[in-house]
Structure 1
Amino acid sequence: MATLLDVLDAAVNHHMAGRLAEAAQDYRVVLDVEPAQPDALHLLGVTEAQRGAHAAAAALIARSLRLNPDAAAPWANLGGALRSLGAAERADAALTRALALDPALADALTNLGSVRHSLADYPAALAWLGRAERLRPGHPDTALNRGIVLRDARRFAESDACLDALIAARPNHIDAHLARAVSRLVRGDLRAGWDEFEWRPRRLPAPPWAGEPLDGQRILLHAEQGFGDTIQFARYAPLVVRAGGRVILDVHPLQFRLLRSLGPEIQVLVRGPAPAPHDLHCPLMSLPRAFGTDPASIPCPPAYLFAEADEVARWGRRIAEVDTGTGSGPRVGLVWAGNPNHRNDRNRSIPVERLPPLLDTPGLRLFSLQTGDAKAARPAALPDLTAGVRDFADSAAILANLDLVIAVDTATIHLAGALGVPAWLLLPYAPDWRWLLDRADSPWYPSLRLFRQPRPGDWDSVLRAVATELERFAAAQLAPQKQS
Structure 2
Amino acid sequence: MSKIVYNPNIFEQEDIDKAKKIILTNEGDLKSEERWEKETPFIVDDIVEKLQINENMTLLDFGCGIGRVAKELIEKTSCKVIGVDISSSMRDMAKKYVNSQNFKAISPQDLEENIKKGFRFDAAYSIWVLQHCLSPQMEIDTIKKALKKDALFYVLNNKISAVPTNKGWKNNGVNIHDILKLRFEQLDESSLPIEIADEKISKLTFISFLKNSKGFKTLSSNQEVINLANQALQEYKKGNLEACKKLYLKVLEIEENNEDALANLGVISKALGNSKEAINYYIKAIKINPHNALTYNNLGNALKDVKDYKRAIQAFSDCIKRDPKNFNAYNNLGITFEALKDSNKAIWAYKEAVKINPNFSKAVNNIGVILYKQEKYEEAIQIFKIALNIDKNYHELHSNIGACLNKLKKYDEAIKSLDLAIEKDPKNAGAYTNLGNVYNKIHEYKKAAKLHEKSIELAPNGVNAYSNVGTSYKYLNQANKAIESYKKAIELDPSFVNAHFDLATMYLAKGDYENGFKEYEYRFQKDEMKAHIFNNKDIFSKPMFTGKEDIKDKTLLIHSEQGFGDSLQFIRFISDIKEKFSCKIAVKCRDELKELFKCLEEIDILTDRSEDTPSFDYHLPLMSMPYILGIKDIKELKQDKGYLKAKKDDNFKITKKKGTLNIGICWSASVTGESYDGKVFDLSYLEKLVKSEKVNVYSLQVGPEKEDIKKLGFEDDIIDLTEQLTDFSKTASLINELDLVISSDTSVAHLTGALNKPVWVPLQKIPDWRWQNKGEKSLWYPSAKLFRQKTNRVWDSVFQSIYDKLFSNFKIKV
TM-score interval for Structure 1 and Structure 2 normalised by the shorter chain: 0.7 to 0.9
Aligned to 1:336: 667
Aligned to 1:200: 523
Superposed CA offset, 1:49-99 (max 9, x none): 322xx3x42366379869989996565444434544666666556545654
TM-score when normalising by structure 1: 0.80
Pick the aligned partner of 1:300 from 635, 639, 643.
639
Q: Per the alignment, do residues 114 and 279 of structure 1 end up closer, same or farther by CA in structure 2, a change over 3 Å counting? A: same
Aligned to 1:284: 622
- 1:389 and 2:761 correspond: no
Pick the aligned partner of 1:414 from 734, 740, 750.
750
- Secondary structure of the equivalent of 2:598? helix
Q: Per the alignment, do residues 112 and 194 of structure 1 end up closer, same or farther by CA in structure 2, a change over 3 Å counting? A: same
Superposed CA offset, 1:274-300 (max 9, x none): 853222222221211222323232123
Aligned to 1:348: 679
Superposed CA offset, 1:396-448 (max 9, x none): 22222322111121111111111122110111111211112311111111111
Aligned to 2:766: 430
Between 1:105-114 and 1:404-413, the stretch displaced more is 105-114
Does the CA contact (< 8 Å) of 2:367 and 2:383 recur in 1?
Answer: no
- 1:376 and 2:707 correspond: yes
- Secondary structure of the equivalent of 1:466? helix
- 1:155 and 2:478 correspond: yes
CA drift at 1:350: 1.8
Aligned to 1:444: 780
Does the CA contact (< 8 Å) of 1:119 and 1:347 recur in 2?
Answer: no
Matches within 5 A, 1:169-318: 169-201=492-524, 203=533, 204=540, 206-210=543-547, 214-243=551-580, 244-263=582-601, 265-271=603-609, 275-293=613-631, 294-309=633-648, 312-314=649-651, 316-317=652-653
Structure 1: distance between partners of 2:593 and 2:406: 32
- Secondary structure of the equivalent of 1:200? helix
- 1:58 and 2:378 correspond: yes
Pick the aligned partner of 1:107 from 419, 430, 441.
430
Structure 2: distance between partners of 1:227 and 1:158: 32
Between 1:128-137 and 1:164-173, the stretch displaced more is 164-173
Matches within 5 A, 1:137-152: 137-152=460-475
- Secondary structure of the equivalent of 2:620? strand
Aligned to 2:694: 363
Pick the aligned partner of 1:134 from 452, 457, 461.
457
CA drift at 1:238: 2.2
Aligned to 2:804: 468
Does the CA contact (< 8 Å) of 1:237 and 1:266 recur in 2?
Answer: no
- Secondary structure of the equivalent of 1:387? helix
Structure 1: distance between partners of 2:410 and 2:397: 17
CA drift at 1:108: 3.5
User: What amino acid sits opposite 2:599 in the alignment?
Assistant: S
Q: Per the alignment, do residues 162 and 64 of structure 1 end up closer, same or farther by CA in structure 2, a change over 3 Å counting? A: closer
Does the CA contact (< 8 Å) of 2:775 and 2:786 recur in 1?
Answer: yes
Structure 2: distance between partners of 1:167 and 1:26: 31
- Secondary structure of the equivalent of 1:307? coil
Q: Per the alignment, do residues 88 and 12 of structure 1 end up closer, same or farther by CA in structure 2, a change over 3 Å counting? A: same
- 1:459 and 2:792 correspond: no
Aligned to 1:32: none
User: What amino acid sits opposite 1:344 in the alignment?
Assistant: S
Does the CA contact (< 8 Å) of 1:222 and 1:283 recur in 2?
Answer: yes
Structure 1: distance between partners of 2:668 and 2:402: 25
User: What amino acid sits opposite 2:705 in the alignment?
Assistant: A
CA drift at 1:138: 1.8
Larger relative contact order (C-alpha < 8 A, sep ≥ 6)? 1
Q: Per the alignment, do residues 64 and 142 of structure 1 end up closer, same or farther by CA in structure 2, a change over 3 Å counting? A: closer
Superposed CA offset, 1:230-280 (max 9, x none): 111101112223331100011111211121221274321113698532222
Structure 2: distance between partners of 1:28 and 1:460: 55
Q: Per the alignment, do residues 255 and 168 of structure 1 end up closer, same or farther by CA in structure 2, a change over 3 Å counting? A: same
CA drift at 1:221: 0.9
Structure 1: distance between partners of 2:727 and 2:476: 37
In structure 1, runs of 5+ residues without a counterpart are: 30-37, 479-484
Does the CA contact (< 8 Å) of 1:238 and 1:266 recur in 2?
Answer: no
Structure 1: distance between partners of 2:453 and 2:377: 28
Does the CA contact (< 8 Å) of 2:362 and 2:387 recur in 1?
Answer: no
Superposed CA offset, 1:170-195 (max 9, x none): 33333222222222211111222222
Q: Per the alignment, do residues 357 and 278 of structure 1 end up closer, same or farther by CA in structure 2, a change over 3 Å counting? A: same
Between 1:399-408 and 1:154-163, the stretch displaced more is 154-163
Q: Per the alignment, do residues 327 and 178 of structure 1 end up closer, same or farther by CA in structure 2, a change over 3 Å counting? A: same
Does the CA contact (< 8 Å) of 2:667 and 2:701 recur in 1?
Answer: yes
- Secondary structure of the equivalent of 1:124? helix
Q: Per the alignment, do residues 111 and 401 of structure 1 end up closer, same or farther by CA in structure 2, a change over 3 Å counting? A: farther
Structure 2: distance between partners of 1:68 and 1:171: 34
Provide the aligned C-alpha RMSD in A.
3.9
Does the CA contact (< 8 Å) of 1:361 and 1:470 recur in 2?
Answer: no
Does the CA contact (< 8 Å) of 1:308 and 1:393 recur in 2?
Answer: yes
Structure 2: distance between partners of 1:356 and 1:392: 26
Does the CA contact (< 8 Å) of 1:76 and 1:94 recur in 2?
Answer: yes
User: What amino acid sits opposite 1:49 in the alignment?
Assistant: Y
Does the CA contact (< 8 Å) of 1:178 and 1:199 recur in 2?
Answer: yes
Structure 1: distance between partners of 2:707 and 2:362: 40
Q: Per the alignment, do residues 143 and 160 of structure 1 end up closer, same or farther by CA in structure 2, a change over 3 Å counting? A: same
Structure 2: distance between partners of 1:401 and 1:289: 35
Between 1:399-408 and 1:41-50, the stretch displaced more is 41-50
CA drift at 1:21: 2.4
- Secondary structure of the equivalent of 2:577? helix
Superposed CA offset, 1:78-123 (max 9, x none): 4434544666666556545654565554334223323322333221
TM-score when normalising by structure 2: 0.50
Does the CA contact (< 8 Å) of 1:260 and 1:266 recur in 2?
Answer: no
Between 1:109-118 and 1:214-223, the stretch displaced more is 109-118
Between 1:227-236 and 1:60-69, the stretch displaced more is 60-69
Q: Per the alignment, do residues 355 and 113 of structure 1 end up closer, same or farther by CA in structure 2, a change over 3 Å counting? A: farther
User: What amino acid sits opposite 1:106 in the alignment?
Assistant: A
